[in-house]
Structure formats: C-alpha cells, structure tokens
Chains A and B, each alone.
Chain A
Amino acid sequence: MTQPVLSAEKVVKGYTLGGETIPVLRGVDFQVHAGEMVALLGASGAGKSTLLHVLGLLDPPDSGRILLAGQPVHDLPIRERAAIRHRQIGFVFQFYHLIPELTALQNVLLGRMMLTRPLAWLRERRAARARAVQLLESVGLGKRLRHRPAQLSGGERQRVAIARALIARPRVILADEPTGNLDSHTAAEVLEILFRIHREEGISFVLVTHNAELAARCHRIVRMKDGLVLG
C-alpha cells in the first residue's frame, strides 16, 4: 500500500456550547490514498462534515494529527494551513457556496486568486482564465460563463463549484453531500462528472453521501457512527 495522501490519526474534536463540550469526533483514524475514491457514510450528526473540515484544515482538531503526504500539518501556523488548503485541497459543498456577486467564470477564477499578488496576476491572468473556461466547458457550462449563481439551476451551480475546486489542481477533493440538494436525475449527471474527473485527473476523493448505490461505485466505503469510524 502506498502512503496516504491525507490522513487523520486519533482525531478528537468537540464543540463547546454553553460551557458544555459536545464530543463530535472521538478518536477518528482515516486515510485517503493517491487516486483513491473513498465514500464516507453515516447517519446525520455522525460527524462526517466535521471530519471533512478537520481533514481540510478549516478547523483544528482538539487532539490527534492530520498528515499530508506523511507530514503533520494540523499544527502549522494559520497562514500556512490556508496556503496548503489552497494548493492541495478542494472543497465541494452540499449548498454550492458560490459568491453571488460573481459570474460563473469569476467564481471559478476566484479559486486561483488566493495566494497571487496583483502584479503576478497580471501575468497569470490569461492562462488562468483559459483554464477556467476549459474547466467550465468540461462540466458542460461553456455557454454559461457570464451567468451569476442566481441565474443558474442547482445542478449548474454545483458544476461551477466543482470547476472552482479543480482550478488550483488539488490533490484531494473533499465533497460533502455534493448531490444532497439535487433531484435524482441532476444528481446522476453531477456524479458522472465527479467520476470522470477522478478517472481523468487521478485526484483523490472523499465523498460524503447517503446513497448506497453511489458508495458501491467507490473504491472503499468508510462508515461513521457517533463520532467514530466503524470497522
């Protein structure tokens, strides 16, 4: 077995509400390998989203470690964690989370702008734009470049979000119920896109889902319950 791209070791995470700490992750071990597609299953409230946030360095663990290509990254300074998140990890959310003021193309480009200084951007802009257009075309939105999120359907918005997650060429994509808000037909279309990207780009995926049929198409299924990984 190769070294995992991204892994969690004995991760404990709780939220404090009104002086009381609610344990959400209670010692989770989890790995995703290069090119692997892992399905993360579990009842609502099991801690799947929380695990994704901790894996994606959005939320620090209370204890335990997060390793990227074998290197611990959870205790790096916040700036460096942000930079790693930008370069290595892409997020796709259930509710798309696009910026309403920006067009589809601008939303995708935003995924490339996080570390670039304005002067450098002048040089990179054309190439970045070409890649954003290409990504939007590959998810079937070549004719929707200038539409704003409000002018797009749910499935189209999620495809913009996928293009945005891809533009910085991440190693891992963390997708939290990407089809949870879509009708079954649209959901199938979006999933086909995800599987195709996985095939063509060799990016690792962690896919949170309730859909057993979908999970069956993944390399590996990990089940969670009450903040623990089962089996």
Chain B
Amino acid sequence: MPPVYAWFLALRYLAARRVNLVGMLGVAVAVWALIVVISVFSGFLGEITDNVRASSAELLLTGVRERSSYEAVREVLERDPDVASTAPRLRHYAILYPYQPPRALGGPAMSTRALEANPLAFNFVELLGIDPEREARTSAFATWLANPGTGARSALASLYRVDDPAAPFAVPRERQEEAMRLLGQRVPPGGLLEASPGILMSWRRLRFSEQVEPGQQVELVSARFAEQARAEDLKKIRGRFAVAGAYETRHRLFDDSHALIGLEALRTLLGHDAADPEGTDLVSEVAIRARPGADLDTLARRLAAAVAGVSGGTVQTWRQQNAVFLGAVEQERGLMKIVLFAVMLVAAFLIYATLHMMVTGKFRDIGILMALGASPQGIQALFLLCGLTVSGLGCLLGFLAGRWSAVHLNDVNDAVHARFGIELFPRELYSLERIPYRLEAEWIVQVLVAALVLSLLVSYLPARRAARMPPVRAIAYE
C-alpha cells in the first residue's frame, strides 16, 4: 500500500491539470464503445441463435442415399428412446412466378421481362415438401405459421395468416377464383376445374408485395432427371400452386430461400406417384425432435450409426446445420472486439503522454518529496496512482454511460429517427422489432480489468523515470 502522500498528491495533481481529462475521456469512450457495441452484438447473436434454432429441426438426417424410404428410416430412428418424433422432408429447387392466364383467356404474352418484374421478389426458391401434421410435432412449424404479423406490424400480415394450421396447404377454390377476379384475370366460365394445392411463402417475401393476393395462383418451373436415363435426359416440371399464406421462422437465410408445399404435392411433381410404386415414400431428409434433456451431439452420432445400413447420410444438430452462419456472426463480434480495443490503446497512449509530460513538469516536486523523505518506490507509486486514477474514473464514466446507452438504445434510436429521420441501427435489415442487447457481466469485467491493467502498464515507464530522477539537481535551483 503506497504511503498517504502518494494518494494525496495524485488527486491534487490530477485536479490541477485539465489535460488529464483527455486520457480519462479516451478511456471512457473506449469502455463505452466496448460495452455498447459488444452488448448489441451479443444480443443480436442471442436473437439470431434463437431464430436459427426455431428455423431448424433439433436434429436433421441429410445426405441419404437416393430412393430412401421414410418408413424404413423412421422405424430405425424412433426405436431410439431419445427420439420424440420425426418428420419426412423432400427438397427440390424451382423458379416461381405469378400465374398468367393463357392469351386465349386474356392473359399477356409471357416474357423473361415479366419474370424479372416478379412481385414475389425472388424467382428462385428451395421447395421444402413437408407433412404438416408430423412437422408440427417435430419442428417449430406451428410457430412459423403463428409468427407473421405478431408485434406491431402492418395489417398486411393478418391477410396472409394461415386460417387452419392443421391444413395449411388447403386453399378453397372460391378463394382462388376471388383472387383471380381481384387481379383482373378472367375466371373460366363455370369456375376453376379444380383448386391448386397451396404453397406457403415466407413473410419476408410477401411483406413488401401488395400485389400478391392470398389465394393467387403461382406457376412453378423446375426440372428433374428421368429415372434410369442418361444425364441429358432432363424432364421439365411444371406445377400450379395457390398462395396459402405466409410463414416466418425469423431466420433470415431460411426465410429468404424457402417455400413450403405439401410433401405429397412435391412427390407428385417429381413423378414419385402411383406410377412408381416405391416412390410414394421417398424422402431426402428427416427432421428429428429429441426428448427433453437428451444430449443432441451424442444422439446425433448414435442415430447416424443406426441409419447407416438403411439410408446412410449424416445427422446434424441445429448448431451444425447453421455452423457457418452462426460462426460468421461470432467472428464479426470477435473482430469488433479487436477493432474497438484499438480505441483503448489510443486512450492508453493518451494517458502515457500526459503522464510523461507531468513527470517532466514535476521534476522539482520530485526532488522536494525526496528531501522530505519520500522513497523512489513511493514516487513511483504516486505516478502509477495518477495513471490508475485517470483510467479508473474513465472506466466508471464509460461503464455508466455504456450501461445507460445499452438500456436506452431503442429510445435513443427512436428519438433520433423521429427528429432527424436517421436510423442509427437499421432494425429492418435484420427484421428486428427492437435492437437487442445483452449486458454480460463477464465481458464488462474483462473490459474494465483490461483498461486498468493497460493504464498501469503505460504508467509504469513515466513512473519509473520519476523514481530515478536525481533529487539534488532538482532542488539546487529555483
């Protein structure tokens, strides 16, 4: 513990020199930025982790051999006591565009240009064929249907809300005819021959398009290889679907790319129908829900081994399925920490510079103190305390400001938006209602300790120089 004069003088020296405010504010800004920015990143990471988790099955069997049968796989999977349920999935790719009635029925000429102006916002979709009943038991499918329009969103959302979650792909014929009329298309005399099967589009696609009517028909184009044929034997696939409504998992990457249709409808499209007796049961992946408390990683390994002889393929946990995406955000947060730490280094340098100046200016005082009986260690402690006090006050200020900013971030953002029309944080970009933040005590302690240790390190050189000053030269002259 340094003697009392070191504490006493450190405070008085600092109070008498306003230049020390610079170092203090530097530390405060660095601490503030490290707390606010990283808290928002952590909040964001927490939020997207939740969203990613909601968009993914707990475990997913993928990469199965061609023509794998769901029943066979299901039997093996559900034999495991830790498996609660499974759901079959079939995946294909397609181009989607609004249905245009043939010219005979008054439709315009179809052109590539018309495709480019597609109000569905994206032509290309990953089609996920699902069994709604099994899916609802296995993934968060029910939540996906309930999500659109929650919170203070536009009235548009309720328009696309699925009426009956138990039969999400059923779109009544009258509704489809009504949509045609609303779009100015001529309904054939006597009405449509049959209702098209439903397709669920993501809320992210639909929310900007006031041109897509619920029940509107969309055309779907894809291709597949003919069974046991040469590679160039490509078969065109065409299908007509009706927009059944919107879903939202809140995981951007999933929502931007996926459209959901009934498993049977997709099988039919792909030609796995009655004409192909084995084809009625084909899957490309199987979603799996584990019993609560089961360790997903060990279960994934066990299931992969179990299905090795049946379908092959790998079993991935929801984290593994999204490893690249989650890893990228975490990487960004890590990078941000490094960038912001540079601010801390600048602040530390400011402390060093002001302290160096102070030691030079206090040359005579140091001689006087030694004449009064100060030891070199005491003199060193005096200037270390100066540096530590500057950064300690900076830490306190930065911490209080950082905490306040994080807690009031949304109010500040709203106020700035209302006043200047600028969004500090583009919430829309991440489809977030509120800017998320997570004040992690561990991180705050790390920041504060780093600031204090750093200031101690940079104070060491000036303090040592002070301790080594020869006292007699300082007091020999005025």
Query: Which residues of chain A have a CB within 8 Å of any CB of chain B?
Result: 49-50, 53, 56, 58-59, 78-79, 82-83, 85-87, 91, 93-95, 97-99, 101-102, 106, 110-111, 113-121, 164, 168, 181
Q: Are B9 and A99 in contact (CB under 8 A)?
A: yes
Chain A residues within 8 Å of B369, by CB = 110, 114
Distance of A58 Cα from B8 Cα, bound (Å): 23
Q: Are A53 and B372 in contact (CB under 8 A)?
A: no
Chain B residues within 8 Å of A53, by CB = 472
Chain B residues within 8 Å of A59, by CB = 470-472
Distance of A221 Cα from B8 Cα, bound (Å): 41
Q: Are A114 and B371 in contact (CB under 8 A)?
A: no
Chain A residues within 8 Å of B364, by CB = 97
Q: How far is the CB of B375 from chain A (nearest CB, A)?
A: 4
B448-478, CB < 8 A from A = 470-472, 475-478
- Counting CB contacts under 8 A, is B425 at the interface? no
Distance of A140 Cα from B375 Cα, bound (Å): 32
Chain B contributes a number of interface residues (CB within 8 A of A) equal to 32
- Counting CB contacts under 8 A, is B426 at the interface? no
- Counting CB contacts under 8 A, is B104 at the interface? no
Contact partner of A56 among B371, B476, B477, CB < 8 A? B371
- Counting CB contacts under 8 A, is B103 at the interface? no
Q: Are B371 and A99 in contact (CB under 8 A)?
A: no
Distance of A50 Cα from B472 Cα, bound (Å): 8
Q: Which of B372, B376, B476 has the most CB of A within 10 A?
A: B372
Interface string of B359-381 (1 = CB under 8 A from A): 00000110111111111111000
- Counting CB contacts under 8 A, is B5 at the interface? yes
Distance of A80 Cα from B16 Cα, bound (Å): 32
Contacts A93-B475, A95-B478, A97-B475 given: A110-B1 contact, CB under 8 Å? no
Distance of A113 Cα from B364 Cα, bound (Å): 18
Q: Are A82 and B368 in contact (CB under 8 A)?
A: no
10 A–B contacts, CB within 8 A, in A order? A95-B478, A97-B475, A98-B368, A101-B12, A101-B16, A110-B369, A113-B5, A113-B8, A164-B372, A168-B373
- Counting CB contacts under 8 A, is B4 at the interface? yes
Q: How far is the CB of B89 from chain A (nearest CB, A)?
A: 70
Q: Are A83 and B476 in contact (CB under 8 A)?
A: no
Contact partner of A82 among B8, B15, B370, CB < 8 A? B370
- Counting CB contacts under 8 A, is B7 at the interface? yes
Q: Which of A82, A86, A118, A164 has the most CB of B within 10 A?
A: A82
Distance of A82 Cα from B377 Cα, bound (Å): 10
Distance of A168 Cα from B367 Cα, bound (Å): 18
- Across the A-B interface, give the 4 residue pairs with the lowest CB-CB distance, nearest first: A86-B373, A113-B5, A114-B373, A82-B375
Q: Are B3 and A115 in contact (CB under 8 A)?
A: yes
Q: Are B373 and A99 in contact (CB under 8 A)?
A: no
Q: Are A102 and B12 in contact (CB under 8 A)?
A: yes
Distance of A119 Cα from B7 Cα, bound (Å): 12
Q: Are B4 and A118 in contact (CB under 8 A)?
A: yes
Contacts A53-B472, A117-B3, A118-B1 given: A110-B371 contact, CB under 8 Å? no
Which residue of chain A has its CB nearest to the CB of B368? A97
Q: Are A58 and B13 in contact (CB under 8 A)?
A: no
Q: Are B3 and A114 in contact (CB under 8 A)?
A: yes
B4-33, CB < 8 A from A = 4-5, 7-9, 12-13, 15-16
Q: Are A58 and B471 in contact (CB under 8 A)?
A: yes
Q: How far is the CB of A71 from chain B (nearest CB, A)?
A: 18
Chain B residues within 8 Å of A114, by CB = 3, 5, 369, 372-374, 378
Q: Are A87 and B3 in contact (CB under 8 A)?
A: no
Distance of A120 Cα from B3 Cα, bound (Å): 10
Q: Are A117 and B371 in contact (CB under 8 A)?
A: no
Distance of A198 Cα from B477 Cα, bound (Å): 27
Q: Are B7 and A118 in contact (CB under 8 A)?
A: yes
Distance of A97 Cα from B362 Cα, bound (Å): 12
Q: Are A116 and B377 in contact (CB under 8 A)?
A: no
Distance of A79 Cα from B377 Cα, bound (Å): 8
Chain B residues within 8 Å of A102, by CB = 12
Contacts A58-B471, A58-B472 given: A121-B375 contact, CB under 8 Å? no
Distance of A93 Cα from B3 Cα, bound (Å): 24
Q: Are A113 and B365 in contact (CB under 8 A)?
A: no
Interface string of B334-350 (1 = CB under 8 A from A): 00000000000000000
Distance of A53 Cα from B1 Cα, bound (Å): 29
Q: Which of B13, B375, B377 has the most CB of A within 10 A?
A: B375
Contacts A115-B3, A117-B1 given: A97-B371 contact, CB under 8 Å? yes
Q: How far is the CB of A115 from chain B (nearest CB, A)?
A: 6
Q: Are B5 and A110 in contact (CB under 8 A)?
A: yes
Q: Which of B4, B8, B15, B475 has the most CB of A within 10 A?
A: B4
Q: Are A99 and B472 in contact (CB under 8 A)?
A: no
Q: Are B371 and A113 in contact (CB under 8 A)?
A: no
Chain B residues within 8 Å of A116, by CB = 3-4
